[in-house]
Amino acid sequence: MRPFYENLPFLCIFLAMLAGITTSILHSGKWAMRISITVLTVVGAASAWLLYATASQNTYFVYAMGKFPSPWGNELRAGPLEAGLALVFCIVMACSLLGGLQDIFEDILPGKQNLYFVMMDMLLASLLSMLYTNDIFTGYVFIEINTIAACAIVMAKDNNQTLVATMRYLVMSLLGSGLFLISLALLYSITGHLLMPQLGESIHSLFVGGLYNEPLTVLVGLMVLGLAIKSALFPFHSWLPDAHGSSTTASSAILSGLVLKGYIVLLIKIFYRVFNISEVRSLKVTNVLFVLGALAMIMGSVKALQEGHSKRMVAYSSVAQIGYIYLGLGLGIEAGVVAAVFQIIAHAFTKPLLFVSVGALSSTAGHEKKWYYLRGAGRRCKLAGIGFTVGGLSMVGIPLLAGFVTKLYLAQGATLAAWQTITALAVLAVSSVLNAMYYIPAIVQIWSSGSTCQEIGIEPKVRRADPALAVSILVLGAGVILLGVCYRPVVSVISAGLALL
């Protein structure tokens, strides 16, 4: 009999799945929402317990799904990194749902609101499985669940733009899944295993023996490409602005904040557990990731600079922020990966904060999303204005906010890197300036006096933050500030978790 907390990852995944199945027969969206929030709370509490249990003993455990251990049965694996990320994902998902609640009930027809929450529960289950899985084929199955659920929450708004965006998103995602599956087939053919520990051992021996070098290079390339398409790395980002910019507020927040990160976490797990980071570096994959990450940081910001539509601007900024994560991975050293994981957490708090705030701000101008018409919106919904300001400044990299710490650690990592130092520092500086060039005018615009939305016949109205919105913005904002002020414990948990991977 193992200690009870070791059952938690498995129970959390099944709780989320069964909640989704139950929700599908409810008639009321309100009850579906309550079930989702309850599940998120329970899973969050369980993850906190797991984090405490694993971080305090600095240990990890594997959990065989059934009585057959690896390499025969499916397995889960949990350590401080997985538990911590699960906790972050639960908090962010709950806050995004609360912050976008009003929009969900306005945008979706009453008969279909419960189905939206089915997707949310399944999304949670798939994210948790992608975090905890120790089996690469389980990873594939849950990537597919994640894809379908993510497409469904884009199209839930059910207007023309979201349907078109969903189609593009679906085509690109399925392409990514196909590439991932073919690389998985190659991996299986040369090792004969699917579970990460055995894969790691046999790949290590292949490296030492110099066998199957060509298939290994190809399969790493295909796997990275598949996951890069799904996580919108430049130049495969073309689907992202439409999908994230047109869907309902909560969907945008969750897609940008969490769904993209799920794939990257899986990629990091594969880098560490199937290969190890020095083998990946010797295959030159990290160099490609570094270049693409740097390009994404610049191009995403340039595109955002040209964008007058508020949500699309924030969505393009996600392209740039994903670039930061890949830049960190591309440094190919421990410090870079730590910075990348920190950026995953920081961005998971910041981007939903921005999306939720923009959603609330635009509701003061009749849901008009152009920056031009949002003049003075911050004065009409003060809390959302403050939320947007905090998030925007964090993106720019003002000290004491989460974004600054990411840049600090990325810069520190860059100084240790082999050849990337100068490029990384220059790109970081340019990207910060570009971020400032579009976030600062937006902040100025929402705090200016007067309003412009009368020009298109919309009467500006004052919106008092309802409790759900207030909780959401306060928790996410507090997260951004806390990550910026006391980041040391977070970084130490990340380093400990990575060392255990």
Partner 1 sequence: MSNAIATWSGDYYQVFAIILFGIGFISLLLHKNLIKKIIGLNIMDSSVYLFLTSFGFIDGRVAPIVADPSVPVQMETYINPLPTGLVLTGIVVGVSVTAFSLALTQRLYKKYHTLNLDEIIILAKREEV
Partner 2 sequence: MTKNIKEQWRQFAAWVNGVENDEPVVTPEEKRAARPHLPGFVHRVLSEKNELRLYHAFSAVMCLVFTGTLLLTVLFLPTFGGAGNPTENEVMERYVEKGIEEVGATNLISNIILVYRGFDTFGESCVLFLAATCVMILLRKDEKNTTAYDLAERAEDAEIESEENTTVLRSVVRMLMPVILLFGVYVLLNGHLSPGGGFSGGAILGAGLILFENAFGLEKVRRFMSEHVYHIIKVAALYFYGFTMIYVFFTGANDLHSIIGTGIPGMIFSAGVIMPINVAVGLEVACTMYAFYAFFSKGEL
134 binds partner 1 (CB under 8 A): no
- CA triple 353-358-360, angle to 5 deg: 95
> Taking Cα atoms as reference points, which of 196, 369, 185, 340 lies closest to residue 264?
340
**247 touches partner 2 (CB under 8 A):** no
* Residue 208 lies near partner 2 (rule: CB under 8 A): no
**Closest approach of Cβ 41 to partner 2, in Å?**
21
Structure token digits, residue 171: 């085509």
In 3D, which of 247, 404, 237 has the Cα closest to residue 326?
A: 237
C-alpha dihedral sign at 407, 412, 418, 419:
positive
- Nearest distance from residue 425's CB to partner 1, in Å? 37
Q: How far apart are CA 248 and CA 104, in angstroms?
A: 7
For residue 355, what is the enclosing H or E element? helix 334-363
- The site partner of 161 among partner 1, partner 2, none (C-beta below 5 to 8 Å per kind) is partner 1
Residues in the chain: 501
Chain positions 190 to 209 lying near partner 1, rule: CB under 8 A, are: 194
Residues 116-145 that bind partner 2 (CB under 8 A): 116, 118-119, 122, 125, 129, 135, 137-138, 141-142, 144-145
Angle (CA) 94-99-104 rounded to 5° is 95
185 part of the interface to partner 1, by CB under 8 A:
yes
Query: Of 58, 59, 72, 412, which lies in the binding site for partner 2, with binding defined by CB under 8 A?
Result: 72
CB of 449 to partner 1, least distance (A): 29
Stretch that binds partner 2, among 183-191, 424-432, 445-453, 489-497 (CB under 8 A): 183-191
Half-sphere exposure of 231 (CA within 13 A, CB side): 32
Given the rule CB under 8 A, which of 42-50, 160-168, 319-327, 482-490 is the region that contacts partner 1? 160-168
Please work out, in degrees rounded to the nearest 5, the angle formed at the alpha carbon of residue 444 by the alpha carbons of 95 and 349.
Answer: 20
Q: Is residue 70 a contact point for partner 1 (CB under 8 A)?
A: no
Q: Is the bond leading into 80 cis (omega within 30 degrees of zero)?
A: no
Type and span of the H or E element at 235: none
Q: Is 76 helix (H, G, I), strand (E, B) or coil?
A: strand
Using CB under 8 A as the binding rule, whether residue 60 contacts partner 1 is answered as no
Size of the site for partner 2 (CB under 8 A): 62
Is residue 152 within the footprint of partner 2 (CB under 8 A)? yes
Determine the straight-line distance between the first and last CA of the chain, rounded to whole angstroms: 24
User: What letter would DSSP give residue 108?
Assistant: S
User: Residue 457 binds what, of partner 1, partner 2, none (CB under 5 to 8 Å, by partner type)?
Assistant: none
What, of partner 1, partner 2, none, does residue 181 touch, CB below 5 to 8 Å by kind? partner 1
Out of 51, 156, 381, 417, the residue judged to bind partner 2 by CB under 8 A: 156
Query: Measuring CA to CA, which residue among 344, 341, 346, 180 is closest to residue 274?
Result: 180
Residue 21 makes contact with partner 1 by CB under 8 A: no
Contact present, 373 and 455 (Cβ < 8 Å):
yes
Q: Give, as one character, the DSSP assignment of residue 47.
A: H
DSSP 195: B
Q: Minimum Å distance from CB 65 to partner 1?
A: 15
Tell me if 436 contacts partner 2 by CB under 8 A.
no
Residue numbers at the binding site for partner 2 (CB under 8 A): 1-2, 6-7, 10-11, 14, 17-18, 20-22, 24-25, 63-68, 71-74, 109, 111-112, 115-116, 118-119, 122, 125, 129, 135, 137-138, 141-142, 144-145, 148-149, 151-152, 155-156, 158, 182, 186, 188-193, 202, 212-215, 218
Residues that bind partner 1 (CB under 8 A): 137, 141, 144, 148, 151, 155, 160-161, 163-164, 166-168, 170-171, 174-175, 178, 181-182, 184-185, 188-189, 194
